[in-house]
Amino acid sequence: MTKTNIVFIMSDDHAAHAISAYGSRVNHTPHIDRIAQEGVRMDAVFCTNSICSPSRASILTGTYSHINGVSSIWTEMDYRVPTFVDVLKGEGYRTALFGKWHLGEHGVSAPRGFDTWKVFPGQGDYIDPKMIDETGEHVVPGYATDIVTDMAIDWMDELSDDEPFCLLVHHKAPHRPWVPDEKHKHLYADGNIPEPETFFDEGLTRSKAVQGVHMTIADDMGADDLKSEVPEHLRGPENRHARMSWKYQIYMRDYLQCIQSIDDNVGRLLDTLEEKGLTENTLIVYTSDQGFFLGDYGWFDKRLMYDPSLQMPMLVRWPAEIPAGSQCEGIITNVDFAATFLDACGVDVASALPTSQGRSFRPLLRGEEVEDWPDAAYYRYWEHDDPIHHAPAHYGIRTKTHKLIHYYGAGLDVPGASDEVFDPEWELYDLTADPSELTNVIDDPAYAEVRRELEAKLAEYQARYADEPYRGPETPRPEWGPYDAEVFAMVQQYVANINATS
Ligand code: CA
C-alpha cells in the first residue's frame, strides 16, 4: 500500500486575517486559498504559546512548552523529547527541512531526524541569506522565500518513485523586518490598505499589564521596521493617530508584499506535486507558527491570547480523505499536529510517540464528529523575560464562546531584565457578543457563573497537560533547556539602542 506523504509549509507570523480564504480585507492569496478549495479550512486552530521557537518545538514534539523546554526564544529544546520527524524517519520515510528552524543550529540543537536539512541561522535574512547545513555556513544568493522553495522542489526531484517522504518547508517570511522581494514592490503601494476596526481601541477594560505592552504601532515600531524615519510633523503625543496611520500603511505594504512571495511559492509547490502525480496521496498543510496583530488594537507582534495572535491559519489538502471545500470548527492546538501527521502516515501514535500530549484530528479532517473532542484550548505564555515587548506572563483557556485569561503577576528572573512585577489580573471575553474582545467582563455579575465554569475548566486542562498553576514566586518552575546567553545579550543590545535613540 502506498504511504501518505507530508508536505508541511509553515510561514512565520502570517495571521489568518491576511489570507483571502479566511476573508481577508487587505490582500488576496489565490494559491494558499487553493489548498482550502481542494481541502479543508480549519477555523479554530490555536497556538499554545504565541511565539516563534516555542510554537515550533510544540509542533515537532506534540508537547507544551513546559515539557519540551522551549519556553521562549532563548531556551533550547530538550532533546530527550522525540519529534514526529524522528518517528517518520524510523518508519522509513525520507525526511527534509528547508528554511527557518530557530531552535539552535549547532551541536545537540541542530536539526535532527532529517536526511537533508538547510536552515537559516536564528531568524535568518531575506536577501542573500546565510544558510547552515552539516557542512557549515554558506551564503545563498537570492530571495529567501524562493530559495527555500527551490530547495524543496530540487529535493523532491531526487526522490525515487514510491519513497514516502516528509518535507518541511519553513519560510522566514513574513517575519519582522518585512523585507519584500523586488518584484513585489509595486503591490499595495497606494496607501489605501484598510485599517482594522479596532485600530484606535484604547483597551481600557483590559488588565494594566497588557495596557503597558511595547507592541504599539504608534510608539514601538521603529525606523528599522519602517526603513525610514517618522516625519517631523507626525511626532509627539498630539499626532499619535496620524502617525499610526502613516506607519500602518508602510508596515502592512511590506508585510503583504512578503506574503505575496509566499503565495507564489505555495503555487509552485502545488504545481510540482501535480506534475509528479503526488497530489492524491500527499497531505499538504499551510500554516504559520502563530498569528499576528495587523494593527488590531493599534498593535503589531503577537504573544498575547487575543485571537489575531492566538489563531493559526491552517489549510489542509489530502484528497484521499478530505472532502474538497470543507470547513472544520473543532478546537485544535499546535500540540495536536504531530499526532495527526503520524496518524495520517499510518503510525500508532501512542506507541511511537508516547510523550505526545496531542491528539490526532484526522477524523475531524474527514468531516467526522468526535464526541469527546476537547472543547477548549489551553494556553501559556512564558516569555515575560523579554525586555523588548514587556508582555506579561499569563495563561488561559479559550472555548468556542468564551476566553478566560489570567495575568498571574510573575516577575522577570533573568539577568539584566527588568524586574517589573504586576498585580495579578483576570480577563473574560464573551466571544459571541464581543468577537473583537473589546470588553473585559470579568467583574460583570452576569458572568459570574461563566467565570466559575471557566476557572474550573482552566484547572482541569492544566492538570490534563501536567502544567503547574502559579501560586507565587515559590512555584516550582519546569526544567528548561540550556539558556542561550548570546541571544539574550543581543536582545539587551537592541533595547539599549532603542533607549539611546528615543
Ligand atoms: Ca513567529
**Cα 172 to Cα 169: distance, rounded to the nearest angstrom:** 10
Query: pLDDT class for 385, splitting at 50, 70, 90?
Result: confident
According to the model, what pLDDT value does residue 75 have? 83
Note if the pTM is more than 0.85. Answer: yes
Residues written for the chain: 502
Do residues 314 and 308 lie in contact, with contact meaning Cβ atoms separated by under 8 Å? no
According to the model, what pLDDT value does residue 276 have? 96
Q: pLDDT digits over 469-497, tens only? A: 998 878 887 877 666 677 667 767 766 76
Give the Å distance between the CA of 170 and the centre of ligand 1: 11
According to the model, what pLDDT value does residue 489 have? 75
Q: pLDDT digits over 173-225, tens only? A: 999 999 999 999 999 988 999 999 999 998 999 998 899 899 999 999 999 99
**Cα 56 to Cα 77: distance, rounded to the nearest angstrom:** 10
According to the model, what pLDDT value does residue 410 have? 80
Give the Å distance between the CA of 233 and the centre of ligand 1: 33
Do residues 200 and 207 lie in contact, with contact meaning Cβ atoms separated by under 8 Å? no
In this prediction, residues 134-157 reach a mean pLDDT of: 97
According to the model, what pLDDT value does residue 499 have? 59
Query: pLDDT class for 19, splitting at 50, 70, 90?
Result: very high
Give the Å distance between the CA of 199 and the centre of ligand 1: 22
According to the model, what pLDDT value does residue 384 have? 84
Give the Å distance between the CA of 126 and the centre of ligand 1: 15
Give the Å distance between the CA of 50 and the centre of ligand 1: 8
Q: pLDDT digits over 243-294, tens only? A: 999 999 999 999 999 999 999 999 999 999 999 999 999 999 999 999 999 9
Give the Å distance between the CA of 353 and the centre of ligand 1: 25
Q: How is domain 5-181+324-369 classified at the CATH fold level?
A: Alkaline Phosphatase, subunit A (3.40.720)
Closest residue by Cα to residue 14 from 292, 293, 302: 292
Give the Å distance between the CA of 283 and the centre of ligand 1: 23
Give the Å distance between the CA of 13 and the centre of ligand 1: 4
Query: pLDDT class for 306, splitting at 50, 70, 90?
Result: very high
For the chain, give every domain's residue range. 5-181+324-369
Say if residue 160's pLDDT is above 70: yes
Give the Å distance between the CA of 237 and the centre of ligand 1: 30
Give the Å distance between the CA of 293 and the centre of ligand 1: 12
Give the Å distance between the CA of 51 and the centre of ligand 1: 5
Average pLDDT, the chain: 93
In this prediction, residues 146-151 reach a mean pLDDT of: 98
Query: pLDDT class for 388, splitting at 50, 70, 90?
Result: confident
Say if residue 68's pLDDT is above 70: yes
Give the Å distance between the CA of 309 and the centre of ligand 1: 10
According to the model, what pLDDT value does residue 101 have? 95
Residues contacting 87, CB < 8 A, separation 6+: 342, 347, 352, 353
Give the Å distance between the CA of 304 and the centre of ligand 1: 13
* DSSP string for 29-61: -HHHHHHHHTSEEES-EE-SS-SHHHHHHHHHH
DSSP element (H, E) containing 342: helix 337-344
Do residues 252 and 190 lie in contact, with contact meaning Cβ atoms separated by under 8 Å? no
Q: What percent of the chain has pLDDT over 70?
A: 94
Q: pLDDT digits over 107-119, tens only? A: 777 899 999 999 9
**Cα 116 to Cα 135: distance, rounded to the nearest angstrom:** 11
Say if residue 418's pLDDT is above 70: no
Give the Å distance between the CA of 275 and the centre of ligand 1: 31
**Cα 96 to Cα 353: distance, rounded to the nearest angstrom:** 19
429 or 75: whose pLDDT is higher? 429
Do residues 334 and 48 lie in contact, with contact meaning Cβ atoms separated by under 8 Å? yes
DSSP E strands: which ranges in 85-129? 94-99, 116-119
Give the Å distance between the CA of 169 and the centre of ligand 1: 14
Q: pLDDT digits over 433-469, tens only? A: 999 999 999 999 999 999 999 999 999 999 999 999 9
Q: What percent of the chain has pLDDT over 90?
A: 82
In this prediction, residues 309-314 reach a mean pLDDT of: 98
Q: pLDDT digits over 21-54, tens only? A: 999 999 999 999 999 999 999 999 999 999 999 9
Say if residue 501's pLDDT is above 60: no
Say if residue 411's pLDDT is above 70: no
